[in-house]
Structure 1
Amino acid sequence: MAVQSGQRLTPARLNRIYLARKTVDESVVNNATVQDDDQLQVSVPANSAFRLRLFAVHTTPATPNLRIGFAGPAGVSFGRLKFEAGPNASLQVGVLAAGSAPSTGGVTGTGADSPLEVIGVVTTGATAGLIRFQWSQSVANAAAAVVRAGSFLELVQFD
């Protein structure tokens, strides 16, 4: 949603912003299958295109690491997603190819909190529904992978 100089930010334009914010830490232990985040998901309309931005603070030891991805309703397409990791982590995958299958990548942790940012484009098909951030451990392990409170998922519908 681009607002040009002199344009008004109207309620109609605000209705094109979809946000979810994590209010509590969430941990995953002994599970290497990506699962929907309890809070980072937004309901979006059908036949629409969106700019996606995820900002997630996570912590995980080097083992088990963090597997991340996105999923959506039937017919959803995720454009190339760009991942950037903070100073206490490194990426296992930097750019994910476009496709309708759930897109997953990974982050190697160090045991300290680290930010992760993902940007890209999401296009929904004929079915409305939830765009969901998904994550798990990369390797099932007793050491917890954690996504911290304050993380957020933002989708902005293109005009």
Structure 2
Amino acid sequence: MTTYPDVRAGQRLTAELWRSGLPNIVEKTIDESIVSSLTLQDDDDLFIALAANAKYRVEFEISAFSPAAAQFKTAWSVPSGASGLKYCYGPVGTDRDSSLMRASVHQLTTTVSYGTESASLASAIRETAIVTTVSAGTLRLQWAQNVSNAGATGLSAGSRLVVWRTA
């Protein structure tokens, strides 16, 4: 089993070493929305720098809203050469309260669509992965409407990204 950070007997425990084993949490503080756009856009808040030759556990906890007709889609932007599979959970169709749910596995950069119900009620979406990097770079959530619509589609404040370095 790999543990991170690798602390050895007799090693001086510094604040930096201690913090390196804690998760990094990035949270949206305000709602962000778009209208009439199918083009994936980089989220303004949900991103983090990743080191080269490292392994991370990544969790996106998303509160998404859009008119039912627009729905919602996501993808991840990752550092060049990064590998892993993302596990995607959330509503499908147009009813966020339906028992129809997505539980699928995809490549990190694959676009995944979710159902929503209205611009005033959010849908819960969760995407997780173990990401292995080759080069340093930025991990970022991207999102857009799945069907172009004049109604606002976006992420609610409180959506967050949690990242733990594991190796």
TM-score, scaled relative to structure 2:
0.79
How far off its partner does 1:25 sit? 0.3
Point out where structure 2 has 5 or more consecutive residues left out of the alignment: 6-12
Specify the code of the residue in structure 1 equivalent to 2:145.
Answer: Q
- Judging changes above 3 Å, is the alpha-carbon distance between structure 1 residues 104 and 154 closer, same or farther for their aligned structure 2 residues? same
Q: How many residues align?
A: 151
Task: Give % identity.
Answer: 28
Point out where structure 1 has 5 or more consecutive residues left out of the alignment: none
Deviation string for 1:98-119 (max 9, x for gaps)? 36xx221011111121221111
Select the structure of larger CA radius of gyration. Answer: 2
Residues 96 and 105, structure 1, Cα contact 8 Å, conserved in 2:
no
Specify the code of the residue in structure 2 equivalent to 1:71.
Answer: S
Matched, 1:51 2:60: no
Counterpart of 2:48 (choices 11, 22, 42) is: 42
Aligned to 1:129: 137
Higher strand share: 1
Structure 1: how far apart are the matches of 2:78 and 2:4? 25
Alignment map for 1:5-154 (pairs within 5 Å) = 11-16=16-21, 17-77=23-83, 79-85=84-90, 88=96, 94-98=103-107, 102-111=109-118, 112-125=121-134, 127-154=135-162
Specify the code of the residue in structure 2 equivalent to 1:97.
Answer: H
Deviation string for 1:38-75 (max 9, x for gaps)? 00000110111111101111111221100111111211
How far off its partner does 1:95 sit? 1.9
Specify the code of the residue in structure 1 equivalent to 2:79.
Answer: P
Residues 4 and 165, structure 2, Cα contact 8 Å, conserved in 1:
no
Specify the code of the residue in structure 2 equivalent to 1:56.
Answer: I
